[in-house]
Amino acid sequence: MPETTVTGADFMLDLNTDGDSRLRIGSLFSGYGGLDLAVEHVFNATTVWFSELNEPVARVFSRHWSDAPNLGDITTIDWSRVEPVDILIGGFPCQDVSTVGKRAGLAPGTRSGLWAHMAAAIDALQPEWVVI
């Protein structure tokens, strides 16, 4: 009997109920898009918007995802006006929680404290999947 391999991407296709076989990704702290590439591949998904404050880096991202608008500064986004997504991803700044960083923690005002804004996005958007 021939063996059949089922990948995660095959399984994920069944999760989208709106008739589109590709899941939608919202990307936070997007950088140049490395995490986006990986998640798109694993989930057979497409990035529909991103949030990146660093303009030179955002230009690189926009070059590869020209149809995805940059929502800009995560601290100013009104999540009630953002297109819902199936997958929310974010590599939030870890400098303040790293053992080689300042060790300031997740306190407000720290770079790693931006986690609170990602948590607010998760709460508002209620994605099926979150990849951090």
As annotated, the active-site residues are: 94
Please state whether beta strands 87-90 and 45-51 pair in parallel, antiparallel, or not at all (unpaired).
unpaired
Burial of 79 (0-12, 13-18, 19+ CB in 10 A): middle
Q: Distance between CA atoms of 46 and 83, rounded to whole angstroms?
A: 13
Q: Distance between CA atoms of 68 and 13, rounded to whole angstroms?
A: 21
